[in-house]
Every structure is written in structure tokens, then in C-alpha cells.
Amino acid sequence: MRAVVYESVGGPLEVREMPEPTCPADGAVVAVEATGICRSDWHAWRGHDPVPLPMIPGHEFAGVVAEIGPDVRDFAVGDRVTVPFVNACGQCSWCRDGQGQVCPDQTQPGFTHHGSYAELVAVRAADFNLVRLPSQVDAVTAAALGCRFATAFHALTAQSRPTAEDWVVVFGCGGVGQSAILIAKALGARVVGVDPSAAARELATELGADAVFAEADLAGLLTLTGGAAVSIDALGSPATAAASVRVLRRRGRHVQVGLMLGDAATAPLPWGELVAKELEVVGSHGMAAADYPEMLAMLADGRLDISRLLGRVVSLEEAPAELAAMDQLVAIGAGVVVAKLT
């Protein structure tokens, strides 16, 4: 099969013939129709997130089931499917509770085993991880949901649950933040985007944000909202996390989506306000396959339209150059780049 592969950290990204994946007994092999080109793949290639080598990158994909293992009961060859970027084991207590996104035995194509920049990709625990696609959702759209959109959807529908007319403040209007704004508006919330980039603020407005701020002007944000019901740190920094807590109303909820790396991993929060106001602080990581149908239904019936978040569609042969180009900071509003294989 044709696939993009690299054999060393930062080494050449080459399209070449690779052995087809073996179908696990409880798994499936999916013929990839489209795969997202994600910055997480770039991090793995550059060695920031060590992976076994050689590696075929790719973890956001949609396609058609080409083979199923003997233990699979709920899917068949020919089914149109997508998969969360966290492939859960399907057996542990967290999986049994429907929380596969925090499965301690998770696998991830492109990180633990060969991924989806290929004509075929293997999926483990297929009955638990495969998600059927409605006819209204094409493969390119489904592949673009992978990381940032599904993560933002989980953050809003499971981890914060704003109601109609609630104020939601989103710190960082990049990929996850853009997705959060779009989803929050679809849920009926009022939304503020905060980002120093004029281009990011402009896109936030186009996506429906009721107001935008260039900085974390706490007095201005509190005056506008009266205190937000929900705040989301979609960037991940000590400053944005602290501001996200401080902008909340009493008994509001802060959701940390942006990764806190390096020294920021132990950053303090304003605990006095958190205790006095009985605030909640929760993390958000991906989304379980069991929660995909709600998101896909909103896409299928038009309540969610992610066309503004889509970028270029390229071929598999163009995917290496697109991934390597992430050595430069990706421009705000560039959208999800998807490699289409069929």
C-alpha cells in the first residue's frame, strides 16, 4: 500500500510502498478515504512526542471498512466509518462507563502503531472505537473532526454544558478555540473570544462570537458578561488559565483544554477565588466514540457547519510537504488540511 513514512526523528517524509496492516482479532482494517494533517503528527515527527520508528503518521481519518477480525460483531466490510484519535481498549472500568477518552490502555494510530497517512489503517477494539458516518457527512468533513473539533465538542457538551444564553469565554482563538466558538453558538450560548491576533479575532467574529477582546481585560469581560458561566482555556498558558478562572461567575466552570507543558504544567491558579466562589476546574481530553453520534447528528442536520474551518484538500503525495511546513507557525484561519486518498 502507499503510505507516508519517516524512519528517524525529523527525517525524510517519504511516500512509498509499505506492508498492509494486519487485522487484529477484535479490530478492523479501514480503507482510508481522507486523513487530517494535524500538528500533533508534526510533534511526533519532530520528536516532541516520541513514537516507535519507522512510523506512518496520521490519527484523524474516515474511510470504509475493508476487513474485520473474527471477534467483531457490530461492523461489516463496506461500512463508512470514522474513529476518535484516542482508541480505547473497550474493557476497562472507564470504557465500561463510556469514558474511553481517558482509557489507561489507549492506543493511537500514528503514535502507538502505524497511522492513517496510508491507504489502509488498522483499528483495535473495533466494536468500541468505530463510529458509523451518516450519509450527509463526507469523508473530508469527518477527517477534519479528529482532534480539535471533537475535543472542543466534548469540552462543551460533556465537561461544561452551557445552557442557552449562558456566557462562554474562550481564551485562544486558534483551532480548538475556533471550534469551541462555533459549537457554543450552536448550543445557544453567548460567546466571547479572547486572542491577541487581529486575524484570529476577525475569524472568531465570523464564526459567531458576540464579542472579541485582544487581551484578558478582566474588568471589561466581567462588565460584559456579569461573570461567565463557562470559560475555556484553549491555548494553555499560566496567564490564560488564571484569567479563565477569574472571569467566571459564582459556581462557574473553567475547562482546561490547552496543554500545559514544561514549567507551565505546575502553574498556580487563583485558589482564593476558586474556593470563595465555589468554582469548578475540569480538564478535557478528546472524545469517546460513544459520544460521536450526537456531534455527527448536528453536522448531518445542519446545526453545525464546519465548512469555515476547512482548509485545503491535498493528495497523499502532497502530505509530506504540508506536514513539514508546520516547522513554521501555522497561520490563523488556515483551517484543517486534509489529504484525500480516493
CA end-to-end span of the chain, whole Å? Answer: 13
Cell of 71: 471477534
Q: What is the pLDDT of residue 310?
A: 86
Total-model pTM: 0.93
pLDDT digit string (tens) for 24-57? Answer: 999 999 999 999 998 889 989 999 888 999 999 9
Mean pLDDT of 185-209: 95
Is the Cα torsion angle 65, 68, 73, 78 positive or negative in sign? positive
Q: What is the pLDDT of residue 342?
A: 80
Cell of 36: 487530517
Does residue 100 carry a pLDDT above 90? yes
* Domain boundaries defined on the chain: 2-147+287-340, 150-283
Does residue 331 carry a pLDDT above 60? no
Q: How far is CA 296 from CA 86, 135, 203, 304, 306, in A?
A: 17, 10, 23, 9, 11
Please return the burial class of 267, using the count of CB atoms within 10 Å of its CB with bins 0-12, 13-18 and 19+.
middle
Q: Check residues 339 and 246 and name the one with the higher pLDDT.
A: 246
How does residue 335 score in pLDDT terms, banded at 50, 70 and 90? Answer: low
Q: What is the pLDDT of residue 336?
A: 77
Mean pLDDT of 335-340: 81
- Find out whether 245 and 281 touch, Cβ atoms under 8 Å: yes
| Cis-peptide into 134, omega within 30 deg | no
The CATH code of the domain at 150-283 is 3.40.50.720
CATH class of 2-147+287-340: alpha beta
H/E/C letters for each residue in 44-82? HHCCCCCCCCCECCCCCEEEEEEEECCCCCCCCCCCEEE
* Residue 256 β-bridge partners: 233, 283
